[in-house]
């Protein structure tokens, strides 16, 4: 069974995240959507809210399981039996950042492979950070997040 982890803060999940996940489904038998705790980011939503939100977005997708975790992502992959980690790439700077992390992860646990999926051009400017900023200033984010997310942002 091919198992992957798609880690992130998902605060909130965006259309770009959804696109990467949907495009990954045919590659794996099971994908864990892992909400990692990141102490350097100021969260908009609690972990529980994010789990509920992502579950609402993917309620009809049996291959996905939403989980929260702490610690090194590569260690969590090993814990859940994931042989691959999925990462979305929007820009060249994303690639450089993700490449460095993938190389470190490979040094720590060589049997876990990082898979990079390049975002569609229309999604390359969408990030959870930008969506949070728009929300903080009362802007409309409906074009950047799935409609199932909107009730969680009120």
The catalytic residues are 17, 41, 90, 128
Would you say 122 is a known binding-site residue?
Answer: no
Would you say 87 is a known binding-site residue?
Answer: yes
Would you say 24 is a known binding-site residue?
Answer: no
Would you say 147 is a known binding-site residue?
Answer: no
Q: How far apart are CA 66 and CA 63, in angstroms?
A: 10
Would you say 78 is a known binding-site residue?
Answer: no
Would you say 83 is a known binding-site residue?
Answer: no
Q: Which residues contact 73 (CB under 8 A, 6 or more apart)?
A: 5, 7, 34, 36, 85, 105
Binding residues for substrate are 9, 41, 73, 87
Binding residues are 9-10, 17, 41, 73, 87-90, 98, 123-129
Binding residues for ATP are 9-10, 17, 88-90, 98, 123-129
């Amino acid at each position: 069974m091919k198992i992957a982890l798609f880690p992130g803060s998902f605060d909130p999940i965006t259309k770009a995240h959804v696109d990467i996940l949907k495009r990954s489904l045919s590659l794996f038998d099971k994908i864990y959507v892992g909400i990692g705790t990141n102490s350097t980011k100021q969260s908009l939503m609690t972990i529980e809210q994010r789990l509920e939100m992502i579950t609402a977005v993917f309620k009809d997708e049996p291959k996905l399981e939403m989980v929260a975790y702490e610690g090194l992502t590569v260690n969590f992959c090993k814990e859940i039996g994931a042989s691959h980690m999925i990462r979305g790439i929007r820009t060249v700077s994303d690639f450089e950042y993700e490449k460095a992390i993938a190389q470190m992860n490979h040094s720590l646990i060589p049997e876990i492979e990082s898979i990079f999926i390049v975002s569609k051009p229309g999604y390359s400017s969408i990030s959870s950070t930008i969506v949070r900023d728009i929300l903080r200033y009362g802007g409309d984010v409906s074009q950047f997040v799935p409609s199932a997310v909107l009730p969680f942002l009120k």
